[in-house]
Amino acid sequence: MEYKTVIGLEIHVELMTKTKIFCDCTNEFGGEANTHCCPICLGMPGAIPHLSKESLEYAIKAGLSLHSSINQKTKMDRKNYFYSDLVKGYQVSQDELPICEGGYVSIETQEGKKDVHLIRIHIEEDTGKSVHTETGDTLLDYNRAGVPLIEIVSEPEMNSGEEAKLFLEGLRATLKYIEVSDCKMEEGSLRCDVNINIVDEKTGKRTTITEVKNLNSFSSAVKAIEYEEKRHIELLEKGEDTQKETRRWDEVENKTIIMRQKGGTEDYRFAVDGDILPIEVSDEWIEAIKSSMPELPHDKRDRFIKEYKLSPYDAEVLTSSKEVSIFFEETLQYIDDIKLVSNWIMGDVLRRLNEEDASVADLKFTSKDLADLLNIVKSGKINNNTGKKVLRDMFETGKKPETIVKEKGLIQISDEGELENIVEEILDKNEQSIIDFKNGKDRAVGFLVGQIMKATRGKANPQIVNKILVEKLNKR
């Protein structure tokens, strides 16, 4: 049998506004429990909410960056359902008229470019947070209640966990570029729900859609998708079907666990929120928001390919975050060597940042410092390997590259006369290697170069050493 996986995603993104969506409480992660609250976000009787203009603007920015159309007339609705930390007994959200409709996120798959389309983007408020104690009690923290969210709903157009991961990575990069969210999954500012089912392509039979809720990392999303793929296929092969249900991912057991049977949208009993006036968005405001937006990742990637003649892969990596792309272009202001800069940033710099789970903002050195190091390497004063050692010191101490090179006496020996004497000395001590070379054993050259580098504590210029060594070996 041939099966096709069908995946749609619902992504909740916390907006980085100064205040909550319907009140003036601070929108800040953490803090002592129940200290970022007021009668409005606690749902007290008689408290009247007022929609934050900044929240609406951030939602419009997200829509424009994802190629969505903006609904200029929209409204807020009440979504009624029971949830222990939903203070009002309903959530203020949007039903029939979301602020944004349509749009897409482009991903690069093994088969080429693929546009994953969006159904909608709407704004809503977040709920509170349940805190479960060791004694079995549940405490409620309402600091998060009323934090502004956008919910981004994709079409079911992804067909693997890898495609879902690419979609999420592209979405996160875009939202961080336009600075509407920090997208920190570990702090809950980006949360993902997966809707998945399987189709038997020969018979057309398909399983019932399962929803997997609140996945808090890309790896968890991929694992949950792969687990559900296998579970759905096994049921289909048994002639059984999945239930319409909501499940969660268990990191310890590495499997999904049922939470509840899933109802339809009619169970939410949507109704217009009478406390919040209908929303009208003018053409002038949309244009003002457009003009204030930065260059988007896909536009910057295309520009890097055209302007800097980078490969699509290199351009993708260097535009993967706004900070990395800025650091790359700033470094190029101090050294005219695109390939050298891109190789070092993509290699040693990003590798170290990934190992330490850090960002460009955490670097102890500047883009000029990196350019100064690369200029020293390019001039031949130190070799590539020594340059990497200097970079490690820069990561750890923040010292200037010139200072590190001077303090550690790392200047490369490039004087041919000095190197000739060292080569002669090494050859005199290794007669057998000379014989091996004459007998066609090429590894003898590598051994001798190693001895020369050892004698100079790695400071000999390897290109000059190789030239002198081969010349002298051929004359012996």
DSSP sequence for 299-319: HHHHHHHHHH---HHHHHHHT
How far is Cα 222 from Cα 161, in angstroms, rounded to an integer? 5
Q: Which two tokens stand for residue 55?
A: 């929240």
Orientation of helix 462-475 relative to helix 416-429, angle to 10° = 50
DSSP string, 179-224: TS----GGGTSEEEEEEEEEEETTT--BPPPEEEEEE-SHHHHHHH
- Percentage of the chain exceeding pLDDT 90: 68
Question: What is the pLDDT at residue 460?
Answer: 83
How far is Cα 181 from Cα 56, in angstroms, rounded to an integer? 13
Query: Which position has the higher pLDDT, 262 or 372?
Result: 372
Q: Exposure string (b/e) for 140-172, b if CB count within 10 Å is 16 or more?
A: ebbbbbbbbbbbbbbebbbebbebbbbbbebbb
Q: Which two tokens stand for residue 155?
A: 């079409």
Residue 375 CB neighbours (<10 A): 17
Rg (the chain; Cα; Å):
30
Residue where the block lists tokens 């693929």 = 114
The predicted-structure confidence for 154-176, as pLDDT tens digits, reads as follows 999 999 999 999 999 999 999 99
Residue 247 CB neighbours (<10 A): 24
- In this predicted structure, the answer to whether residue 266 has a pLDDT above a threshold of 60 is no
- In this predicted structure, the answer to whether residue 261 has a pLDDT above a threshold of 90 is no
Question: What is the pLDDT at residue 409?
Answer: 83
- In this predicted structure, the answer to whether residue 392 has a pLDDT above a threshold of 60 is yes
Kindly state the greatest CA–CA separation across the chain: 99
Question: What is the pLDDT at residue 263?
Answer: 60
Q: Which two tokens stand for residue 83?
A: 């949830």
- In this predicted structure, the answer to whether residue 23 has a pLDDT above a threshold of 80 is yes
CATH class of 416-475: mainly alpha
- Percentage of the chain exceeding pLDDT 70: 98
Q: Picking from 17-26, 81-90, 353-362, 366-375, which range would have the lowest pLDDT averaged per residue?
A: 81-90
Angle at 366 between CA 364 and CA 370, to 5 degrees: 105
The predicted-structure confidence for 44-103, as pLDDT tens digits, reads as follows 999 999 999 999 999 999 999 999 999 999 999 999 987 778 888 899 999 999 999 999
With contact defined as beta carbons under 8 Å apart, do 36 and 28 qualify?
Answer: yes
β-pairing verdict for 210-215 and 245-250: parallel
How far is Cα 9 from Cα 154, in angstroms, rounded to an integer? 5
* Cα-Cα end-to-end distance for the chain: 70
- In this predicted structure, the answer to whether residue 442 has a pLDDT above a threshold of 80 is no
Residue where the block lists tokens 């000095």 = 418
Domain boundaries, the chain: 3-284, 295-407, 416-475
The structure's pTM equals 0.81
Question: What is the pLDDT at residue 185?
Answer: 85
The predicted-structure confidence for 112-142, as pLDDT tens digits, reads as follows 889 999 999 999 999 998 888 889 899 999 9
Q: How sure is the predictor about 264, in pLDDT bands with cuts at 50, 70 and 90?
A: low
How far is Cα 157 from Cα 321, in angstroms, rounded to an integer? 25
